[in-house]
A and B are shown apart, each in its own frame.
Chain A
Amino acid sequence: MKSIYVTSLVVMTTAGTSAFAMQYLTVAEAQRVMFPDATAFKDVNLHLSDDQMHQVEKLSGLPGRSANWRVFSAFREDTMLGYVVLDDVIGKFELISYAVAINPDASIKQVEILTYRESHGFEVRNAAWRKQFSGKTIQSGLAVGEGIANISGATLSCTHVTDGVRRIAAIAQVALKK
């Protein structure tokens, strides 16, 4: 029975039309998943000063990249439960948007991927192509849960996400710690 697999491989004829993309969670869903007890999320647009940027670079060992970060604080009534920080990273073939939940003590609580979009390298490196997915994730043209079948293939390293999380951990230490 198992040998059927080899012959059942259907060769796709639509070469060149790669659309490996998946929307896992909207920002609102990620907020609920990461802080299920929260009753409200407040938009705190974080702006890092030059000094804070410098500290972030020193702590994370990575370029600070941006002074402006999209951050939400999570509240249960008047109690601050933590933060949700949004970010996207670009790899050789992929554009990944993700959310990091931060505890009030600045430790990382959880990381969730929001959207994953993969294409040919030249598209990913193209600013216009990336722009259609920016605005932090949601305009990806996909409904939640819609997207690619599971892919089996070589492991695509998620170094960019790992570095991104490390940078956000440093930002939390520098600018969000209570």
Chain B
Amino acid sequence: MMRRAQPWLGTLVDITIGDALDDIALMSCFNAAFARIAKVHRLMSFHDLNSDVSRINRASVGDTINIDPLTDEVIRTALAVAEASGGIFDINCAAKLIEWGYLPRLEEVLLECPSGRRCAVILESDYKAIKTEPACIDLGGIAKGYAVDLAIEELKQLGVQSACVNAGGDLRVIGDIAYSITIRHAERPTEAAGRIQIQDEALATSAGYFSRKSIDGREVSPLVNGKTGAPVTSTFSASVSASTCMVADALTKIVSATGDVNHPALTQFDATAFIT
């Protein structure tokens, strides 16, 4: 078993390959998987001015923006999760995250947060996005999960039988071997709350212990409840397991905001949740 880690998407991405491969084969598998993660980073970074996300954010209402098929897929999934959650999950809340200091204040970026669940873009066919609202988007709540899925798909295509890809707590496992996963303790995050075995599925966890902070006496977090516009400051940790990490990642935000491990959105995406 071999593990490597690189910094991408604002966190550490850790890849484990369980197959007994020679050094050269292992290296090319790792490199190919990290290259997929790097591609998601380049396309969906809020910070990088050349990313699809930045080009959407800097566009004027009415502009058409050509986006990569990968970005298109993530935005479409984000919109489906938004719909299923009555707007709790919302990629259009970047203005709040800028206000609370979680995202940088970039020039040329519009700082309105739309109300009434209007998305900043409409997706046409042929990977074209039309800017429809003067808002900016952030895919931070879903892109890590998607990057994990792409890396896993790449490893599968290369014939890898057993692997785990973990992007800062959003992870997915393939193969017949179960991987042991430690869940962080919600109040003492450098300790384990418990361990679970995962096989051939994705698990994502969301919690505020590393990121909650106080601004002018008000507690904020990098997670916005899109329905209310308020920061989610729950003190528990919400984990979701699903068949893809993209869906698991997005759904953790709904469980964090509602505390509801039986939320209908989970059923709709065939996912399960637990809180610790």
Contact = CB atoms under 8 A, between A and B. Distances in A.
Contacts of B169: 151-156
B246 interface: no
B93 interface: no
A156 B272 contact: no
Interface residues of A, number: 48
Interface in A130-178: 145, 147-159, 161-162, 165
B180 interface: yes
Interface in B136-188: 144, 164, 166-171, 179-184, 188
Q: Which range holds the interface residue count of chain B?
A: 35 or more
A141 B74 CA distance: 41
B179 A150 contact: yes
A164 to B, nearest CB: 9
B27 interface: yes
A152 B191 CA distance: 12
A157 B7 CA distance: 10
Contact of B182 (A11, A113, A152, A161): A152
A11 B182 CA distance: 11
Nearest to B206: A154
Interface stretch (A2-10, A50-58, A75-83): A2-10
A143 to B, nearest CB: 12
Contacts of A118: 190
A33 B29 CA distance: 12
Contacts of A151: 166, 169, 181-184
B10 A158 contact: yes
A151 B198 CA distance: 12
Given A118-B190, A145-B1, A161-B12, A154 B210 contact: yes
Given A152-B203, A155-B210, A158-B12, A18 B191 contact: yes
B275 to A, nearest CB: 9
B174 to A, nearest CB: 13
Contacts of B14: 22, 150
A98 B12 CA distance: 11
B76 interface: no
Contacts of B11: 155-158
B197 to A, nearest CB: 7
A152 B184 contact: yes
A41 interface: no
A154 B237 contact: yes
B3 interface: yes
B25 to A, nearest CB: 12
The secondary-structure label for the interface of chain B is strand
A25 interface: yes
B6 A111 contact: yes
A150 B171 contact: yes
Interface string A66-102: 0000000000000000000000000011001010000
Contact of B207 (A15, A110, A149, A154): A154
Contact of B272 (A2, A11, A154): A2
Contacts of A12: 191-195
A61 interface: no
Given A149-B182, A150-B166, A152-B182, A24 B3 contact: yes
A147 B192 CA distance: 14
Interface string B1-28: 1111111001110101000000010010
Contacts of A6: 274
A29 to B, nearest CB: 9
B100 interface: no
A15 B6 contact: no
Interface of A: 2-3, 5-6, 8-12, 15-16, 18, 20, 22, 24-25, 33, 36, 92-93, 96, 98, 110-113, 116, 118-121, 145, 147-159, 161-162, 165
Given A154-B205, A155-B170, A157-B211, 19 more contacts: A10-B194, A12-B192, A12-B194, A18-B190, A24-B5, A92-B210, A110-B6, A113-B12, A118-B190, A145-B3, A151-B169, A152-B182, A154-B208, A156-B11, A156-B210, A157-B10, A157-B11, A157-B210, A158-B12
List 4 A-B pairs, minimum CB-CB distance, nearest first: A153-B184, A9-B194, A155-B168, A113-B5
